[in-house]
Amino acid sequence: MPTSKKPLCRSECVFSNFLDIVGDKWTLLVIRDLMFFGKHEFKDFLGSQEAIATNILSDRLKKLLAAGVISEQKHPDNASRKLYYLTDKGKALLPVLMEIAKWGSQYLPDLPAMQELYKKITKNPEAVKRYVGTSIGTWERENLQAKQAKQRNQSEA
């Protein structure tokens, strides 16, 4: 009888286990880039203003993949490159990131680059959720579902 794979948790505390997965700056920034800024390639993440080092980025992507927060596929134009995307588990972090942004709007208001997001989240959080969901869904249809359909057509031919 196959055993189900359970994640190894160091603690019985949900906060501790959550922080084990996404509790460092770089991990949350990768999730932010996927969720809000439509970044999907290694080079895209490197282009973020926070200037993550390549070795740290590689480590965080592996960690997020292992935790099931993101997944990857080969790039359609170059098999040596990968596209990264949020899984359902990763998408479920949207309310967490929105709450962090709400906190920032109150306690870190002097960040000009964040003002537009702060305003949108404060004014209409449901619209932000819909927008992010639509953006992610559009990318998935164009990049994941299209690839799957192409593979099915090739195997049927």
| CATH code assigned at 64 | 1.10.10.10
Query: Percent of the chain beyond pLDDT 90?
Result: 53
Q: What is the pLDDT of residues 22-53, one digit of tens each?
A: 888 899 999 999 999 999 999 999 999 899 99
Residue spans of alpha helices (H) in the chain = 14-22, 25-36, 42-46, 54-67, 88-91, 94-107, 115-123, 125-140, 146-156
What is the residue range of 82's domain?
Answer: 14-156
Q: What is the pLDDT of residues 95-152, one digit of tens each?
A: 999 999 888 888 887 778 888 888 888 899 999 999 999 999 999 999 987 666 555 5
Q: Is there a domain that residue 62 lies in?
A: yes
Q: Is there a domain that residue 64 lies in?
A: yes
Phi-psi region of 5 (alpha: psi -120 to 50; beta: other; left: phi over 0): beta
Q: What is the pLDDT of residues 55-94, one digit of tens each?
A: 999 999 999 999 999 999 988 888 889 999 999 999 999 9
